[in-house]
Amino acid sequence: MSIVAIVGRPNTGKSTLFNRLIKRREAITDAVSGVTRDRHYGKSDWNGRDFSVIDTGGYAVGSDDEFEEEIDKQVELAIDEADVIMFMVDAADGITLEDETVAQLLRKIEKPVMLVVNKVDNNAREQDAYEFYNLGLGDYYSISSINGSGTGDLLDALVELLPEPREEVEVDLPRFAVVGRPNAGKSSFINALIGEERYIVTDIAGTTRDSIDTKYNRFGFEFNLVDTAGIRRKKKVKEDLEFYSVMRSVRAIEHCDVCLVVLDATRGFDGQVQNIFWLAERNRKGIVILVNKWDLVENKDTNTVRDYERRIREEMQPFTDVPIVFISVLNKQRIFKAIETAVEVYKNRSKRIKTSQLNETLLPIIENTPPPSLKGKFVKIKFITQLPTPQPQFAFFCNLPQYVREPYKRFLENKLREKFDFTGVPVSVYMRKK
C-alpha cells in the first residue's frame, strides 16, 4: 500500500487533515502546538485507491520544546518511508522560518511533494496563499482541513501521484497492546524489538500521547504491536490532552488480543499497574506481565526473582495464572522472550477444545469431586462444551445451576487450566440448565 506523509511545522492542521482522511478521530488535535509527537499511521481511500497516511509531529526550529530534536528525526523518518509528501502550511500565518526550513529539506528529495495551504476559508485567505509560491515547490492546493473545503481536489491530485498498487492479501492481524503507567519503558521496548526509533523516547513521563500500531513478525507469527500512552490516575489527568491520551489507551486495551503490561521494577506492581491489569482482565484479554528495568534492582540474589514474582501473584489473586517475564529494555535482555510468551498466550486465548475431549477429561473429575450440596439439593453436571467466543468460555450443563457457588466455579476453572493450559488468559465458567 502506498504511503502519504503529512509534514510541516507545529499547529498547521496536519492532524485535523489526517483525521478527515482516515474518517476517524484517531490523532489527537488541540489548539496547543506540538500535540502530535510520534508518527501516526492510518488508512484512507479515494477514487478506488487505498493508501496509508502518516501524521507527523511538527518540524520545529529553535523552539524550547524538549522533544524538538526527536520530533525532527521522526519527520525525517516519515519522509523516508513515504511515496508522496504533503507539506502543510498555514495561510493565516504566512511563510515562517520553520516553513522555509522544511521547504529546503523537501527540495532535496526525489519524491513528489504537494504543497498544501491550510485554513483557506475565505477570499482574503485565497489571495494570501499566493505568497507560498516563494517556497519554490511549485503549485499549491488551498484547503480548509477543519471543514473539508478543497480536500476533494487535493485527493484527486494525490491519487495521480501514487505508484501503481501491488496485489496484497488483507489479513486481520492479532493486536498486542503494550500498556502500563507513564515512563515504564513501553516505547523503548518496541523500539528495541523492531531495531529502529519508531517512537519518541525521553526521560520525561508521558511522551507518547497517541496509541500507535506497528506491524511486526517474529517466530513466524505476524501481528500488530500497539504502543499506548501511559495510563495515569484520574486525579492526575487535568488537561483535555491527557484525558484523550488515557482514553486512547483504554480503547487500545479493549480492542487488542493480548496486553503486555509493562511495569517499572523499581516501583513494583503498584496500585496504578494493578488497575491496568484488572482492566485487561475484565475485558477478558490475554495478559503478560513484563517487569522492566530489572538491571536497576540492586542487591539481587538467587531468591530475588522468586520473591518479586510471589509478591506480584499475591496482588493478582484469584487470577494468578499469568506469565511474568523479567526484562531490561536498555540491555535488550529477554525482550524476545517477552514476545514469544505473548504469542503463546495469544494461541492459548484462541484455543478450541473438542467437546468429546472436555467431557472425557472433566466429567470423571467432577464425579469424584461434585459441587457441595446446598439446602439438601445435589447438583449433577452432565455435559460440558466450549462456547463459540473469541476467548475461552465454557458452559457446564446441570440440573440446578443456581446452587453452584463461586468457589466451585473457580475449582472448575483451575481444572480447565491444569488440563488444557490456558496460561495468561481469563477463563469464564457458566452453569446452564440442562
Output DSSP code: residue 385. E
Is 231 among the annotated ligand-binding positions? yes
d(CA 71, CA 55): 12
* Residue 95 among known ligand-binding residues: no
180 is in an annotated binding site: yes
Residue pair 26/19 in contact (Cβ under 8 Å)? The answer is: yes
In residues, how long is the chain?
434
184 is in an annotated binding site: yes
Q: Is 181 annotated as a binding residue?
A: yes
- 119 known member of a binding site: yes
Q: Is there a binding annotation on residue 424? A: no
The verdict on whether residue 182 carries a ligand-binding annotation is yes
228 labelled as ligand-binding?
Answer: yes
> Quick check: 183 and 230 in contact, CB under 8 A?
yes
Asked if residue 49 lies in contact with residue 165, where contact means CB atoms within 8 angstroms, the answer is yes
Cα(279)–Cα(274) distance, rounded to whole angstroms? 8
Contact indicator for 209, 177 with CB cutoff of 8 Å: no
Determine if residue 22 is labeled as part of a ligand binding site: no
Q: Is 140 annotated as a binding residue?
A: no
Q: Is 157 annotated as a binding residue?
A: no
* Residue 183 assigned to a binding site: yes
The reply to whether 58 sits in an annotated binding site is: yes
187 is in an annotated binding site: yes
**Residue 295 marked as a ligand binder:** yes
CA–CA separation, 330 vs 352, rounded Å?
A: 38
Residue 227 counted as an annotated binding residue: yes
14 is in an annotated binding site: no
Kindly tell me the number of DSSP H helices and DSSP E strands found in the chain.
12, 15
Using CA atoms, how far residue 142 sits from 124, 129, 373, in Å, is 12, 8, 77
Three cell numbers written together for 199: 517512537
Neighbours of 266 (CB within 10 A): 11
Is residue 65 a known part of a binding site? no
Alpha-carbon distance 115 to 88, whole Å? 6
Other CB atoms within 10 Å distance of the CB of residue 206? 17
Query: Per the annotation, does 57 bind a ligand?
Result: yes
117 annotated as belonging to a binding site for a ligand? no
* Residue 121 marked ligand-binding: yes
Tell me if 60 is assigned to a ligand binding site: no
10 annotated ligand-binding residue: no
Residue ranges for the binding site?
55-59, 118-121, 180-187, 227-231, 292-295
Residue ranges for the binding site for GTP?
55-59, 118-121, 180-187, 227-231, 292-295
